[in-house]
Structure formats: C-alpha cells, structure tokens
A and B are shown apart, each in its own frame.
Chain A
Amino acid sequence: MDTKAHADETINHITPYRIYVLVWVTLMVLTVISVGVSYFHFGIFNIVVALAVASVKASLVALYFMHLKYEDKITWVFALYPLGLLALLIGLSISDVFFRAVVSP
C-alpha cells in the first residue's frame, strides 16, 4: 500500500448537517410523490414510475447516508456489482419465461 493511499484513508469526510437535512427532505418529497402517483393510472407506466422513484430514493440513501459518494473506487465496484448481478438474474430468466413453448392444457 503506498503512502498516498494511506494518507487518503485517514482523512474522513465530514458531511455537513445541511446536506443530511436536504436529502431527508428530498426523500420525504419523493415519498409524497410515490403515494400521489398511485392515484393516477398510467397503465404500464405505473410500475415504471414507482420503480424510478424508488431507485432515486435508494441512490440518495446509498450516496449520502451510506457515504458512497465519498468512498474510493473499489467500494463503488463492490456497491455496483450486485446491481449488475440482479440485471443478469432478471435478464437471463427472461430468456426462459418469455420464450417458453405454449402448452395447451
């Protein structure tokens, strides 16, 4: 381990309270939006909107509350890799479910 990397590690990032409060307010607003849009019907886009809002919220929590924003590259790799795996699990399962031969009962 070189000395520069070592020095970087010892400096802990301190997030100002202002940021935490801002993120919290944003999360609350997004929650209101989540509830709000459930009263409207967008057809297939219902789930798209719900997932998009949820993803933004999860990202905010990971970035600020879990400090991912201030972490080094390797932590990012470990944080993002499982998302790739999830995409893989869903994607390759689709190659089964969407292409099954139709069997008449």
Chain B
Amino acid sequence: MANHTIAETITIPYLEEKGLLSWLTSTDHKRISIMYLLSISTFFVLAGISALLLRFELLMPGKTIVDAHTYNVLFTFHGAVMVFLFIVPGLAASFGNFLIPLMIGARDVAFPRLNLMSYWIYLLGALIILISLSKPADTGWTFYTPYSIRTGTDVILLTFGIFVLGFSSILTGLNFIVTIHKLRAPGMTWHRLPLFIWASYATAILQVLATPVIAISLLLLIAERVFGIGFFDPAKGGDPILFQHFFWFYSHPAVYIMIIPAMGVISEVIPVFSRKPIFGYKAIAYSSLAIALISFFVWAHHMFVSGMSEVAATIFSFLTFLVAIPTAIKVFNWTATLYKGSIDLKSPMLYALSFIFLFTIGGLTGVFLGALAADVHLHDTYFVVAHMHYVMIGGTIMGFFAALHFWYPKMTGKMFNEKVAKIAWAFVFIGFNVTFFPQFILGTQGMPRRYADYPPQFHSLNELSSIGSWILGIGMFVMAINLLRGLFNGEKAPQNPFNSLSLEWQVPSPPPHENFEEIPHVTDWTYGYGKKSA
C-alpha cells in the first residue's frame, strides 16, 4: 500500500493491489485468507483426482488401471493430502481468517505478521510433502506402526511435512484465540458473537492443544525409523499400539478441527435463508465448546480391534456416545430454526441443508461404530469409509461449499450464476450419495477397506460407487467453472446481496483494506431476522 496515504488505505478494496509479491508479503487477513483458499483448493483438486483414480481402479475386480502398490500410494496420498493440506487448515484458515476480524468488528487479527508466517509455514510443509512424492509413502494417512517403520517408502519426509504443517495450525489457532478475546468491537459481547466465531474459537482451542501431540508422535516415529530406538517395537520393549494411542489423541480431536468450523458456517447460513433468528443460540455456542472438550476423551474408539484391553475398549465405547449429545443439540437447533421460516433455497442454503441431511447420516452411522459389539464386525470395512466420507464430505465439504457460495460475493465483489450453481449442487448431492451410500452396504457385507481388489460378488455396488464418483466429479467441475467465470464475467456484487445482519455484510464488497472506516458499536446480536425491516 506504499502509494496510498493512510487515509486512503481505509477505503481502497483489499483486492486492488496487483502483483504476486504484494500478495505473498501481505499481512492483511483477507489476502492471507484468499491465499489459503487457493492453496487448499489446489490440494483438494489433486487429492480429488487421486480419489477418482482409486474409484476407477475399483470399477471392476482384478487390475483395472494401477497395481496394488500404486493403489496403496494413491490412497495414502489422497488421505494425507485431503486431511493435512485441505481439510484441517480448510475452513479455519481460509474463511476463519477472512471472517473473524470482520465479524467481530476488528481491522485485522491480533498478530498479522504471525498470520502471514503461518501461511508460509503451511507452504513449506506442503512443499516437503510434495518432495516426499519422489518415493511416495504407502502406509495410509495414519502411519500405523510397525508397517510405517518397515516400509521402504519415504515415510520420514511425509511425516516431517505434516510436523511442519502442525506449527501453521497451532499459530493460526493461537492468533484466533487472542483475536476473539482481545479485538471484539465495543458492545460485541460473548453472547452477541456470531456462531461462526464460537465455532472458530472452539476449533482454535483444539488446534493449540491437540496438534502438539501429533507432532510428538510423528517425531517419535521418525526417531524410531532413523535411530531404531524401539518406542513401538515389542522386541525392544516398545508397544506398537502406543503409536495408535498417540496418533488418535490428536487425530480424533482433529476430526472436530475439520467439522466444527463447518458447523459454524451452517449456523450462519440457516438463519439468513430462513429469515428467522437462530434457535437455541447459547446451546449451539456452548455445544461447540462441549464437542471440543469431549473430543479428547474418545480417541481409542479407533482402536477397538487393535489388541487394546477390553476394559479400555468398554470405557472408550461409553465415552464415545457422549459426543452424540452436543452434535445432536446443533442439528435439532438448526432444524428448529427452519421451522416456519421463510425458506429461500439459494445455493448456499442448498449446501447447508445437504449438510444437515448428510451429516446426520454420517453421525448416526458413527454411533454404530462407537458401539463396541457392532464395531468389531464393521471395523476396517467399507462401512467405516462410507461413515467417514459422510461426515467429511457430507459434513465439512458441504459446509465449505455453503461458505464458498455464501461469502463469494463479499470476498470477490462479484456474483456467480445462481442457476448453474444449483445445477452443480444437484450433481454434487446426487453424485455423493451414489458414491458413498453403496459403501455402507459393501461394508456390512464384509468388504474390507484399503485393498486394490475385491471378490466378484462386490462388483455391482463398486461399479455404482465408481459411477457416482464421476457424477460427483462433474458437479465439482461445474461448480469450479461457475465460480471462476463469476470472477471475470460476474455482475458486481452489492454490499449485502443476501440481506444478512452480520457485520461483515455491512462493509463494501470486497471489503476495504482496513475493513471498517470506523470501528462499529454493536448494540444487538446478529440474528434479529424476521423483525423490523430484516
């Protein structure tokens, strides 16, 4: 902003300055958000293509396009990149960065330089992971010992990349916690905060507290491989299941790092397109914190058949059911918000409703898996794959798409074609269900996950699933083209196209560099729909 006076920087749109360097060195939270958004989207596409290849291999029994080792490499790449480069930074780093200061009435996050550093660390981690592809790992994204110790592929570089990414996550979380505590505008009390902020706050706590544990686990794994110490080797007095304990102590809370921001998005979209105040504000707000707390108590439900003691399995099975309570609180409150609302089925709302529908399926099938007796049979089958994707695509990615369509006009200052967006949604929704619903059935029939091949009796459902993946792929492709076209050919977006009461919609689209000409004084919560002119 060197060419402008300070007074001018308050009013010029944040997108105005051009040039790669002006982006890569910007401490503006909105620019950092866009850089995250572009980066994670790139990795989403790469990992998505690997998923399409996996589904293509599974189209028919026997070898279709790749051999077994390449298949293992592909699902490791798909899992690791989707989890660590897309969905964990995902909504928190992209939309969180953009929206938190705007929603609470601040000019930026608390530590703008640290924010930029987090992004650079993310890039560094991503680069290390890409370099590891010269000898790509075949362990799956969970790196379970003892295989991850023995495999000849480059586990060290991949896990080191994830170790580096962890710092990005921790620093972003820390930044958001301080921002939400310290930079709220006058009158923006805790109970007036938009629910996306509550969700981001819960996520940030998880990022700060859980991420160090995966860092330690991966360092131990690297130490084991390099120095042969024997943390996880029974022959040297170690314990292979210890790795799983460490790994899931992070990776289960990480599931909530992925999903809670999406829940925050849904809490924002539903009231706007129902024209009703959100139902059960405090219940939704505190349930985010409750999920964050409980998420630390349930990790070993991933390990029921690992050889863990039955006492532990029973305790963890019981504790797992507790998660259903705050999650159900949210779903019921969203549904109650819809009740008798003036519902407008615009594309963000379609994705939000898809979230409620699909996440409920994902959540309830999670109860099957949390139940010890059922899990013994369903563990490591396609039932788990289907459940996990119903939560992650049906939940997080639907939330991500809802956010993308909802805040697109604010972020870009342009409108996309609503009709095409709805067509894309239909493809995504149908494609997703055709891909993953058959996998529930395959799982109950006993088809194990992570194999490049299967017996002929599973053929027809696998074929259906693979065809579904193409429909899903087409849907996402159409969506991407529509959003990209909007950037160049879209109409200019008004300040508040969806008539939202939230603070970010009270500034121009795209917002100016300093967000607010004057820091607003907040006098009410942001969900007063259906009253006055709103």
Residue pair B309, A100 in contact (C-beta under 8 Å): yes
A78 to B174: give the CA distance in the assembly, Å.
11
Known: A88-B296, A93-B245. A100 touches B184 (CB 8 A): no
B297 x A95 contact (CB < 8 A): no
Q: Contact mask A82-105 → B, CB, 8 Å, 1/0?
A: 100100110011011111110000
Inter-chain contact total with CB atoms closer than 8 Å: 45
Which among B223-231, B271-279, B310-318 touches the partner chain?
B310-318
Q: Is the CB of B297 within 8 A of A99?
A: no
Q: Determine whether the beta carbon of A99 is less than 8 Å from that of B209.
A: no
Given A92-B315, A96-B309, A101-B310, are A82 and B209 also a contact pair (CB < 8 Å)? yes
Task: Convert A10-43 into 0s and 1s, putting 1 for each residue whose CB lies closer than 8 angstroms to a CB of B.
Answer: 0000000000000000000000000000000000
Contacts of A7 in B (CB 8 A): none
| B157 CB-CB contact with A under 8 Å | no
Residues of B within 8 A of A95 (CB): 309, 311-312, 315
Q: Residues of B within 8 Å of A, CB-based: how many?
A: 24
Asked if A99 and B312 make an inter-chain contact with CB atoms under 8 angstroms apart, the answer reads yes
- Pairwise interchain contact B309-A85, C-beta atoms closer than 8 A: no
- B239 within 8 Å of A (CB atoms): yes
Task: Report the minimal beta-carbon distance from B296 to chain A, rounded to whole angstroms.
Answer: 6
Report how far A99 CA is from B184 CA in the complex, Å.
Answer: 49
A81 neighbours in B (Cβ, 8 Å): 209
Contact (Cβ within 8 A) B296 A96: no
* Most chain A CB inside 10 Å of its own CB: which residue of B182, B310, B312: B312
CB of A85 to closest CB in B, whole Å: 6
Does A74 sit within 8 A of B, measured CB to CB? yes
**Main secondary structure on A side of the interface with B:** helix
Q: CA separation between A95 and B314, bound complex, in Å?
A: 10
A91 to B: closest C-beta gap in Å? 10
> Contact at A85–B209, with CB atoms within 8 Å?
yes
A89 touches B297 (CB 8 A): no
Contact A1 B184 (CB under 8 A): yes
Nearest chain B residue, comparing its CB with the CB of A93: B245
Cβ B308 vs Cβ A96 within 8 A: yes
B249 within 8 A of A: yes
B181 proximal to A (CB < 8 A): yes
Whether the pair B312, A92 counts as a contact (CB closer than 8 A) is yes
Give the distance to chain B from A4, nearest Cβ to Cβ, in Å: 15
Smallest CB gap from A100: residue in B: B309
Tell me the complex Cα distance, A93–B242, Å. 8
Q: Report whether B297 and A97 are in contact in the complex, using a CB–CB cutoff of 8 Å.
A: no
Q: Is B220 an interface residue (CB 8 A)?
A: no
Collect the chain A residues with CB atoms within 8 Å of residue B315's CB. Answer: 92, 95
List the A side residues contacting B182 at CB < 8 Å.
1
Complex: chain A residue closest to B319, CB-CB: A92
Chain B: minimal CB distance from A77 (Å): 10
Q: Which residues of B contact A89 (CB under 8 A)?
A: 213, 245, 249
Residues of B within 8 A of A85 (CB): 209, 296
Docked Cα-Cα span, A93 to B313, in Å, equals 11
B308 and A100 form a contact (CB under 8 A) = yes
Contact A96 B213 (CB under 8 A): no
**Whole-angstrom distance between the alpha carbons of A78 and B316 in the complex?**
26
- Indicate if B241 sits at the interface (CB-CB under 8 A): yes
- CB contact list, B280-310 vs A, under 8 A: 296-297, 299-300, 307-310
Chain B residues whose CB sits within 8 angstroms of the CB of A96 once the complex forms: 241, 245, 300, 308-309, 311-312
> Please, which residues of chain B bring their CB within 8 A of the CB of A78?
177
With the chains together, A88 CA to B311 CA distance in Å? 16
In the complex, what distance in Å separates the CA atom of A101 from the CA atom of B213? 27
Contact of B297 with A88 in the complex, beta carbons under 8 Å: yes
Compute how far the CA of A96 lies from the CA of B304 in the bound complex, rounded to whole angstroms: 11
Query: A82, A85, A96, A100 — which one has the most chain B CB atoms within 10 A of its CB?
Result: A96
Q: How far is the CA of A93 from the CA of B303 in the complex (A)?
A: 12
Bound complex: CA of A92 vs CA of B297, how far in Å? Answer: 8
The 9 lowest CB-CB distance pairs between A and B, nearest first, are A96-B312, A99-B309, A99-B311, A95-B312, A100-B309, A96-B308, A96-B309, A93-B245, A95-B315
Known: A101-B309, A101-B310. 6 other contacts (CB 8 A): A85-B296, A92-B316, A93-B242, A95-B309, A98-B309, A99-B312
13 contacts between A and B (CB under 8 A): A82-B209, A85-B296, A89-B213, A92-B297, A92-B300, A95-B315, A96-B241, A96-B300, A96-B309, A99-B310, A100-B309, A101-B309, A101-B310
